[in-house]
């Protein structure tokens, strides 16, 4: 813990307001994985997003050219 910053456990009403929106089921899945597995899982998801974006842009270009 950094001595010059507040204790992370100090209650914060702004942060608490965000808590309700967090889907912890996804996190709990991650907590069963090793660090390396967590990184690989996240990278796979990011690559999927890139692939979807690529397909979407290709489709948009096809529509524009039609």
Partner 1 sequence: MTSSLLQQFADLFEKHDVDAILIGGWAAIVHGSARSTMDVDFVYSRDRENLARIVEALKPLSPYLRDAPPGLPFVWDVKTLEAGLNFTLTTSIGPIDLLGEVPGGGGYLDLINQTQRVDLATSVLRCVDLDCLIQLKKAAGRPKDLEAVAELIQIMERGSQG
13 binding partner 1? (CB under 8 A): no
33 binding partner 1? (CB under 8 A): yes
Cα gap 46→8, rounded to integer Å: 29
Give which of 55, 30, 56, 32 is closest to 44, Cα–Cα: 30
Q: Cβ distance 52 to 60 under 8 Å?
A: no
Cα gap 27→37, rounded to integer Å: 13
Least Å distance between CB 1 and partner 1?
Answer: 5
Least Å distance between CB 60 and partner 1?
Answer: 21
> Which residues of this chain interact with partner 1, rule CB under 8 A?
1-2, 4-6, 8-9, 12, 14-16, 18-19, 21-24, 26-31, 33-40, 42-43, 45-46, 49
């Amino acid at each position: 813990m950094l001595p010059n910053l507040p204790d992370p456990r100090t209650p914060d009403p702004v942060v608490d307001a965000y808590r309700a929106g967090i889907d912890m089921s996804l996190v709990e899945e991650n907590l069963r994985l090793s660090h390396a597995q967590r990184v690989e899982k996240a990278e796979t998801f990011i690559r999927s997003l890139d692939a979807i974006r690529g397909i979407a842009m290709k489709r948009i270009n096809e529509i524009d050219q039609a």
